[in-house]
Amino acid sequence: MANAINSFQIVDPSPIPLYVQVKDLLRARIFDGSYAPHAQLPPESGLGAIFGVSRITVRQALSDLQREGVIFKIPGKGTFVAKKKAAQQLTHLEGFAEAMTREGYQIYNRVVGHHAIPATAEVAQQLGVEAGTSVAEIRRVRHLNGEPVSLEITYLPEQLGQRLRNEDLTNRDIFLIFENDFGIALGHADLQIGAVTADRTLADALQVSEGSALLRIERLTYTAEGKPLDFEYLYFRSETFQYHLRIARRPAPVGSE
């Protein structure tokens, strides 16, 4: 392994700081598979000897990689390669299981709540109903290869919620049930993406420490006719999942191929 890393040379002097060079080389070795997920990296002294830099330089490089989620540290044991984050594209509307199954992941959903509740002001506004109107609330913890990765809280008209009680929400996406079983064509969704820290409820559901960073998404999905269909709060463990989005600098000229 050291020989593989040593095939790259640290350049000094260089306009690129030494710790950045070390970080980039280590990241490259991790991403090309030289270090597999959960593999232990050499200690700081060993990496310093490999690269010919000080332990302080190595420590700074490792700190950056840890912030990026590429590695993680276990006190008293060492530094390890993190698992590659699962990712979903935002270029088109699809359910979580649709996207992850295509990538070869095993998906399991644990339904932790399915009730009729009075709509809060926000839920009512999103669904286009009066506040206090009875709506269905469905809570599911999504598991990726056996590990909890997200908590999804879905709100939709109570009639649809009642119909979903007879469906297999453990193994199927609600989007596919809408389209294939209910004959409801989906149109588009509006998303808002942010970050929150886990409270006790979220921490328990996702098996993380209270205060852990989570990715939070609000998603309002419309039918093909433009009618609000379901509104969701999606909470993802930030170290296990990410969204990908490609955006253009400017719209293509009218009439271009």
Query: For 168-213, how does the pLDDT look when each residue is reduced to its tens digit (9 = 90+)?
Result: 998 888 888 998 999 999 998 888 888 899 999 999 999 888 898 8
User: CATH no. for residue 64?
Assistant: 1.10.10.10
Residue 207 lies in a domain: yes
Same domain, 203 and 116: yes
User: Tokens 């598991």 sit at which residue?
Assistant: 143
Q: Are the C-beta atoms of residues 143 and 119 closer than 8 Å to each other?
A: no
Same domain, 54 and 172: no
Structural domain that includes position 110: 86-244
Residue 256 lies in a domain: no
Same domain, 152 and 225: yes
Planar angle of CA 16, 35, 11, nearest 5 degrees: 20
Same domain, 119 and 183: yes
Give the whole-angstrom CA distance, residue 220 versus residue 126: 7
How far, in whole angstroms, is CA 116 from its chain's centroid? 28
Give the whole-angstrom CA distance, residue 240 versus residue 225: 35
Entry pTM: 0.62
Residue 115: enclosing H or E segment and its boundaries?
strand 107-118
Same domain, 117 and 24: no
Q: Render each residue's pLDDT in the chain as its tens digit; 257 residues.
A: 444 444 455 656 678 888 989 988 888 888 777 888 778 999 999 999 988 899 999 999 998 888 766 788 878 888 888 766 555 555 566 656 665 555 556 678 899 999 999 999 999 999 999 999 999 999 999 887 677 888 999 999 999 999 999 899 988 888 889 989 999 999 988 888 888 999 999 999 998 888 988 889 899 999 999 999 999 999 988 766 555 555 556 666 665 55
Same domain, 236 and 151: yes
Same domain, 99 and 212: yes
